[in-house]
Structure 1
Amino acid sequence: MTAYIALAVVVVIVIWAVAIYNRLRTYKNQVENAFAQIDVQLKRRHDLIPNLVEVARGYMQHEAQTLEAVIRARSTAVSAADEARQSPGQAQAMGALMVAEQALVGQMGRLMALAEAYPTLKADARMQQLSEEITSTENRIGFARQAYNDQVLDFNNEASQFPDLIVARLAGFAHMEMLQSTQNEQERAIPQVKF
């Protein structure tokens, strides 16, 4: 009789652990899917940038250094995205991606600011179209980042609560990192209105 009770307890514990593992795996899959949505938008941005640089190059011969900096930042961001794609949520990969994307956004901001000084470039239809597509993509990245962060929060909450914490640690489910905005503090600052 005692053996049956012990066997029943073991079966219940195994079923409980499997249920928790499956739930954590579902959350992790949702995080990976959410990152894939960010990745699609990052690829879109990365693909648009060379076209934007080529259009600008025709008008901005004296700004070759800026154009080259944008291309270098894009290359670094593409590499960081490739690394993050291999392990979404891993702290080192997400940190490198955030730094690379922030550098790219900074260089793109410089390019767009310089483009303002060239009225013919600013009026170029291809430049306007590419600028609009990049702006649209930036908005999509923001929405995808929010969805990703929501999924990471759900996963981290689930994996850090007892008793799920036990299964998470035994199964190797590590804490996942959220993606921060690629805007710098100055761009995020609330404008001050004074009368």
Structure 2
Amino acid sequence: MSKGLLIGLGVAALLLFWGIGVRNGMATENQEVEASWAKVQTAYQRRADLIPTLVNTVKGVAKFEKETLTDVINARASATQIKLDAKDLTPENMKKYQEAQSQLSGSLSRLMVVAEKYPELKATENFSELQSQLEGTENRIKEERDRFNDTVKGYNNKIVTFPNSLIASFSGFTTKGYFEADAGASKMPTVDFSK
């Protein structure tokens, strides 16, 4: 064998091993995104699981607030209906999922405002415990969403940079969507104590 052929085969072997290493790194990053997504879904599921108990507790005391309770029940049904697989985390799908979860968050916020009108509800131990659990769950959701976004950022950076992007396109790796702030979240709320 000629020296040139050996050098060519050596370079080809190096490129092949490099490509395999890059592709395996992308697969590992993709698995991390999927694991992070599972944690986000678990946090949202915990919130969804708390809602029926919370609604029943409020229903027993606040009999006049049927519309608010119905909104929460419907928002929960809508939010739990949207199933998003880790392989389909496109920006469009992420937006739909986030909109359903935001609708549920809004309904829960309105329910908490209604609960403030009923001192006998706030005095019940069950409601206080549920409120505390819901607050903790909302914090967990925020943390898991932040971790998810960090994981997606690492994955997306890996597959969009050259020459990794060539291997990503041949291997079918695509960018994943992020959780984004809710519409209007960057606007400072107006606080007026004169009313």
Question: Structures share a fold, TM > 0.5?
Answer: yes
Q: Deviations over 1:76-111 (max 9, x none)?
A: 11122xx22353632232111110010000000111
Greater CA radius of gyration, 1 or 2?
2
User: Contact 1:48–1:134 (CA<8 Å) still a contact in 2?
Assistant: yes
Task: Return the offset for 1:7.
Answer: 3.0
The Cα RMSD (Å) is 2.2
Cα distance in 1 between the residues matched to 2:17 and 2:7: 15
Aligned CA distance change for structure 1 residues 116 and 161 (closer, same or farther; 3 Å): same
Cα distance in 1 between the residues matched to 2:166 and 2:44: 35
Q: Deviations over 1:142-163 (max 9, x none)?
A: 1111111100011111111111
Cα distance in 1 between the residues matched to 2:81 and 2:171: 29
User: Contact 2:37–2:86 (CA<8 Å) still a contact in 1?
Assistant: no
Aligned CA distance change for structure 1 residues 109 and 184 (closer, same or farther; 3 Å): farther
Amino acid of the structure 1 residue aligned with 2:155: F
User: Contact 2:34–2:86 (CA<8 Å) still a contact in 1?
Assistant: no
Percent of residue pairs bearing the same amino acid type? 30
User: Contact 1:35–1:88 (CA<8 Å) still a contact in 2?
Assistant: no
1:30-179 pair list within 5 angstroms: 30-80=32-82, 83-87=83-87, 89-179=89-179
Aligned CA distance change for structure 1 residues 25 and 37 (closer, same or farther; 3 Å): same
Which runs of 5 or more residues in structure 1 are unaligned? none
Task: Return the offset for 1:75.
Answer: 1.1
User: Contact 2:57–2:127 (CA<8 Å) still a contact in 1?
Assistant: yes
Cα distance in 2 between the residues matched to 1:172 and 1:46: 34
**How many residues are matched?**
191
Please identify, of 85-94 and 66-75, the stretch whose mean Cα deviation from structure 2 is larger.
85-94
Cα distance in 1 between the residues matched to 2:176 and 2:42: 20
User: Contact 2:76–2:104 (CA<8 Å) still a contact in 1?
Assistant: yes
Q: Deviations over 1:132-175 (max 9, x none)?
A: 00000111111111111100011111111111111111111111
Give TM-score scaled by structure 2 length.
0.89
Greater helix share, 1 or 2? 1
User: Contact 1:41–1:137 (CA<8 Å) still a contact in 2?
Assistant: yes
Task: Return the offset for 1:181.
Answer: 4.1
Cα distance in 1 between the residues matched to 2:93 and 2:145: 15
Give TM-score scaled by structure 1 length.
0.89
Cα distance in 2 between the residues matched to 1:128 and 1:116: 12
Cα distance in 1 between the residues matched to 2:6 and 2:87: 43
